[in-house]
Chain A
């Protein structure tokens, strides 16, 4: 096969093949998550869709496989490791996010039901890489060294793991809000014990007796048993998170990074606005989807633990990668640290995640406070990644765009 054919194949493998596989894996896995605490019992007595989880996991592994195949083909097409420009970094980040998330959730922590969210995140990162697509090509000679593969892969892998941590962090905050809302709902509403359907003025007032009875199923392992019918509990949890506030908050939060595309000097204003809006609205949609899934999530404290574990690993990787970068800089530029915008921003990211880890060890900021700092730290990471490559001029302006 010629180089051009390989390049075309790598592109097809990336989008649509990998992208669609991630999306379908996300859909199947998320749907199977809803069947775990099944409301909809079929006539045969089996919970509908209970067998979907293995299908979803198989799809997820296939997606990861297709992604690896893309990386290999792209590497062959340009006869070098695909670690040379922003598209390739984002692609690798998505791969680490998907593969790392899969390994962590299915093998290490045995929580395969959460794979859907990782797949959703991977789909978004894969799609976002298309914003900075660059055809396969040769490397700048200064980048042509094993230091690059080493430094870049460690940093990019850490960014991927940070992204997993961000997903868990976001879910943790949503679930925590929902649990608080549920606790309030229980406090303010008489429990429908015995006389289900009694007139009450809480969020459960609209439920009929049939619904309340049909909703009683065996509690899930994470289900802490509030005594409420499952449907009412789900309603109360979702009601605790105002969709409008969530949407506006997500939009504003995403804007802290997406403005970069408007400010990119190489893009036109209309183009940049379209990109920024697309990113913001996609994230808003994701937040709203996550809100709908809140009742199916494990307890907030478990999500918090997952977020901490992943961020701790990524923090170690980031520290290591930054030190490796300094060593390469000493070798290549003749100084180990020069406060180049990228170095400064990498340091900023390091501080932000260090603040998260410290906040988690501090009484008063543990839990929600740390969660918010974690979200902010991820925004800083994305800022470091996009803004410094696209907007601020420095030695690391390697987006590969023209």
Chain B
């Protein structure tokens, strides 16, 4: 491959790339493909297309319900109960639209994006390092022809002017180069300075590099984090052991011995609402607070509270209060034998009441109960309860439907608050007040002993958080200079006027970005230099910023390499 001189006329440069060195055959083909793919990836336009694709995927994820977030809605879309119908749902499923961020298409796109980013960054980093290490401000041959020019006259001599200019510029952290005219053919004696040389491009590089830190932190977190959930009824306790969680989601490398075994006692849960139906925001909750006592692994205890925005940190684990509900204590007796006694963790529905299921496999045949809990169901004149959607437990009412048969526990997929009624027969329903009992016939007695509340706690360990914060910090630290730093050059050329003995000072400048801002900076520098030298502007018209005749209008974007 012959090198061509970039200063030579374009005809001397070949229009086509020189033939490859690798030769033919399968290896050469592979090599060619890789080179072509790399060249395609390096192009800015490719990055734009990939960003557009990422945008499309994200739009899909915004519009279509996502399985990890709202699994029930996705099921309803698939069966056609909700959404645009089964056909569309099938199409969405085909492209993995119900779990966009877990789909192979997204992973492939992410890989391409990072490849493209890498391909773009490698040459840019090399160029940047070269620039930072080796560049020095270029000299100007004709300062008067630069974009912004101001002229001053002073009595000081040339060296003094150059010294003052260099001092001022160095004080403002410019790269300064003072040059004396050596030969007649070289540029005139001058102070050349440059600023913003590495900050803009460097910021852009830092911004883009922070994505690698972000990605690494996310992957690290997927492997090493832990998250578990558990509902705790008031007055009960919960110990941190792997088996005590209701949902347990460890990362691949999470070590079960990392549970230190701390204990949490939920003393009381406070909840309140705006109860005045005429007040603004009527019915809105005003308070969620858990009073807890924690016992750490080392035996120390502490009484504290957990609130919505105040998670509790014990032994490196964060405990959030995520959910709550009413927990009526229900007893079921068959022929005088207690077959069920437990707090039922009823969860809030959209209609304002709470739902739960009671499963008593100890009875024969099994007993299942579909439970509706109404916190506020006052009696009407006839003495019958009127269920309302109000959430405060001033007149609690338990409504239930009793089922007998086979609960199919462990054989069909059913959640804790859901009955599989396919093998169950209903034997009627009833309502009970707190402290009362009802005889359902066939020797079945249901008792609503007392009412408490339960709180859903989430326990999590996320060792990746500091690294995520680091990545965010780098991202922002890089973004600001990438958008706002600008590269500019200044020249101060002083010449002794042979006639009247004055020194003519030309302050010329040129900005690669943000020309208007540079105009102000240039004017400010001219003013300070004039102060320092007791100089006066040569003519007012030319020293004003309005002389920016050829200043490029508008700025270049963050990735522009001048």
Residues of A bordering B, CB below 8 Å:
7, 78, 109, 135-138, 140-142, 144-145, 147, 299, 301-302, 304-305, 308-309, 312-313, 315-316, 319-320, 323, 326-328, 330-336, 338-341, 344-345, 347-348, 351-352, 354-355, 357-366, 380, 384, 387-388, 392-394
Tell me if A137 and B284 are in contact (CB < 8 A).
Answer: yes
Q: How far is the CA of A399 from the CA of B534 in the complex (A)?
A: 63
Tell me if B280 and A352 are in contact (CB < 8 A).
Answer: no
Give me 10 other A-B pairs in contact (C-beta within 8 A), A138-B284, A362-B557 excluded.
A313-B483, A333-B322, A336-B462, A338-B69, A351-B54, A361-B556, A361-B559, A362-B44, A365-B45, A384-B62
Tell me if B274 and A348 are in contact (CB < 8 A).
Answer: no
Determine whether B460 belongs to the interface, using a CB cutoff of 8 Å to chain A: yes
Contact of A355 among B52, B468, B479 (CB under 8 A): B52
Determine whether B92 belongs to the interface, using a CB cutoff of 8 Å to chain A: no
Q: Which residues of B contact A304 (CB under 8 A)?
A: 554
Residue of B at shortest CB range from A345?
Answer: B62
Q: Which 10 A-B pairs have the closest CB atoms?
A: A361-B557, A137-B281, A137-B280, A334-B320, A305-B554, A301-B553, A360-B557, A142-B308, A361-B559, A145-B309
Q: How far is the CA of A354 from the CA of B475 in the complex (A)?
A: 13
A142 to chain B, nearest CB (A): 4
Tell me if B280 and A347 are in contact (CB < 8 A).
Answer: no
Q: How far is the CA of A312 from the CA of B484 in the complex (A)?
A: 8
Determine whether B101 belongs to the interface, using a CB cutoff of 8 Å to chain A: yes
Given contacts A137-B284, A348-B59, A358-B44, contact A316 B480 (CB under 8 A): yes
Tell me if B62 and A331 are in contact (CB < 8 A).
Answer: no
Tell me if B557 and A323 are in contact (CB < 8 A).
Answer: no
- Per-position binary interface string of chain B over residues 33-44, scored 1 when its CB falls under 8 Å from any chain A CB and 0 otherwise: 000000000001
Tell me if B309 and A355 are in contact (CB < 8 A).
Answer: no
Determine whether B458 belongs to the interface, using a CB cutoff of 8 Å to chain A: yes
Tell me if A308 and B557 are in contact (CB < 8 A).
Answer: yes
Tell me if B45 and A364 are in contact (CB < 8 A).
Answer: yes
Q: Which residues of A contact B59 (CB under 8 A)?
A: 348
Q: Which residues of A contact B309 (CB under 8 A)?
A: 142, 144-145, 147, 328, 331-332
Tell me if A332 and B308 are in contact (CB < 8 A).
Answer: yes
Tell me if A365 and B48 are in contact (CB < 8 A).
Answer: yes
Tell me if A352 and B55 are in contact (CB < 8 A).
Answer: yes
Contact of B61 among A326, A331, A336, A344 (CB under 8 A): A344
Q: How far is the CA of A380 from the CA of B472 in the complex (A)?
A: 23
Tell me if B274 and A138 are in contact (CB < 8 A).
Answer: yes
Q: How far is the CA of A330 from the CA of B311 in the complex (A)?
A: 9
Q: Which residues of A contact B308 (CB under 8 A)?
A: 141-142, 144-145, 332
Tell me if A315 and B287 are in contact (CB < 8 A).
Answer: no
Residues of B bordering A, CB below 8 Å:
44-45, 47-48, 51-52, 54-55, 58-59, 61-63, 66, 68-70, 73, 100-101, 227, 274, 280-281, 284-288, 307-309, 311, 318, 320, 322, 458, 460, 462, 465, 468-469, 472, 475-476, 479-480, 483-484, 516, 553-560
13 CB < 8 A contacts A-B: A109-B516, A135-B280, A141-B287, A144-B309, A302-B554, A315-B479, A315-B483, A330-B462, A345-B58, A358-B557, A362-B48, A387-B62, A392-B62
Q: How far is the CA of A141 from the CA of B318 in the complex (A)?
A: 20
Residue of A at shortest CB range from B552?
Answer: A301
Q: Which residues of A contact B484 (CB under 8 A)?
A: 312
Q: How far is the CA of A78 from the CA of B101 in the complex (A)?
A: 41
Residue of A at shortest CB range from B58?
Answer: A348
Tell me if A358 and B559 are in contact (CB < 8 A).
Answer: yes
Contact of B58 among A299, A333, A351, A364 (CB under 8 A): A351
Tell me if B55 and A351 are in contact (CB < 8 A).
Answer: yes
Which of A344, A352, A354 gathers the greatest number of chain B CB atoms within 10 Å? Answer: A344
Q: Which residues of A contact B54 (CB under 8 A)?
A: 351
Residue of B at shortest CB range from A322?
Answer: B472
Contact of B553 among A109, A302, A316, A319 (CB under 8 A): A302
Given contacts A351-B51, A361-B556, A364-B45, contact A336 B468 (CB under 8 A): yes
Tell me if B66 and A305 are in contact (CB < 8 A).
Answer: no
Q: How far is the CA of A147 from the CA of B308 in the complex (A)?
A: 12
Tell me if A393 and B559 are in contact (CB < 8 A).
Answer: no
Q: Which residues of B contact A348 (CB under 8 A)?
A: 55, 58-59, 62
Contact of B311 among A141, A334, A338 (CB under 8 A): A334
Given contacts A362-B45, A392-B62, contact A141 B554 (CB under 8 A): no
B13 to chain A, nearest CB (A): 20
Residue of A at shortest CB range from B514?
Answer: A309
Q: Which residues of A contact B100 (CB under 8 A)?
A: 339
Q: How far is the CA of A334 from the CA of B247 in the complex (A)?
A: 15
Tell me if B45 and A78 are in contact (CB < 8 A).
Answer: no
Given contacts A138-B274, A339-B101, A361-B559, contact A323 B284 (CB under 8 A): no
Q: Which residues of B contact A147 (CB under 8 A)?
A: 309
Q: How far is the CA of A355 from the CA of B59 in the complex (A)?
A: 14
Tell me if A392 and B63 are in contact (CB < 8 A).
Answer: yes
Given contacts A302-B554, A348-B55, contact A138 B281 (CB under 8 A): yes
A383 to chain B, nearest CB (A): 8
Residue of A at shortest CB range from B480?
Answer: A316
Tell me if B280 and A140 are in contact (CB < 8 A).
Answer: no
Tell me if B70 and A393 are in contact (CB < 8 A).
Answer: yes
Q: How far is the CA of A340 from the CA of B58 in the complex (A)?
A: 11
Q: How far is the CA of A351 from the CA of B50 in the complex (A)?
A: 11
